[in-house]
Amino acid sequence: MICRKCGKRKATVNISSNPYCQGCFLKVVDKRIRKTLRVDYNVKIRNTIMLLDDNSAGAIVLKNVLDNALRNYNFKVLKRINKSYNKIVIPATLEDYVSDYLGAVFRGKGWKKNKKEIFPLRNVLDAEAEKYCMIKKLKFSKKERDKYMLDIIKMLDNIEKSYPGVKFSMMKSIMVMEKL
């Protein structure tokens, strides 16, 4: 199978049933994260952002993307807790974000976010973050989740098998509801 993006190299990675070569896969994930930062969260030049690091695949991907983005966007990344930040970068992938939202809804709690918190990986699946790290040979540890969140993610995975793309659709719906 040939890469969908470049049309030249052999595809070795699938994103939402679209085949990509490793180079194009890395570019697609990188572009999604940078676009989320720029468009959805309005991260601007001279912003100071604090990256929460749990050594998960998502946190490692974010570190990598932010290190590369520093050259272009000229914002400062704090890796220690400090009060001089404009935004807090949470390394939560799409599954984390959707399961947190659904968990709050199922438990009957309101889902409120801190206005300073941003989630640039909310358009990146866990498997994509892990594959990104493997391709770039970046070490990461598996994310710790409680049983309730694991059950919700398992439910989402089962629904995704029958209805491909439902995770991304749920994310888009949550984004619309956040604006209400």
| CATH code of the domain covering residue 157 | 3.40.50.620
Per-residue tokens: 96: 């984390």
Specify the pLDDT at position 77: 62
Residue 51 backbone phi and psi in degrees, to 5: -95, 120
Please check whether residue 134 lies inside any domain of the structure. yes
Across the chain, how many H-helices and E-strands are there? 6, 6
Please check whether residue 160 lies inside any domain of the structure. yes
Please check whether residue 25 lies inside any domain of the structure. no
Please check whether residue 7 lies inside any domain of the structure. no
For 93-126, the pLDDT digits (tens) are 999 999 999 999 888 887 777 778 889 999 999 9
Specify the pLDDT at position 123: 92
CA 4, CA 19: separation in Å to the nearest integer?
Answer: 6
Q: Which residues contact 82 (CB under 8 A, 6 or more apart)?
A: 50
Closest CA to 140 of 39, 80, 63: 63
- Find out whether 120 and 51 touch, Cβ atoms under 8 Å: no
For 31-44, the pLDDT digits (tens) are 999 888 888 887 77
For 54-83, the pLDDT digits (tens) are 889 998 999 888 887 766 665 566 666 667
Please check whether residue 100 lies inside any domain of the structure. yes
Please check whether residue 107 lies inside any domain of the structure. yes
Number of separate domains in the chain: 1
Please check whether residue 14 lies inside any domain of the structure. no
Please check whether residue 96 lies inside any domain of the structure. yes
**Domain interval for residue 107:** 30-179
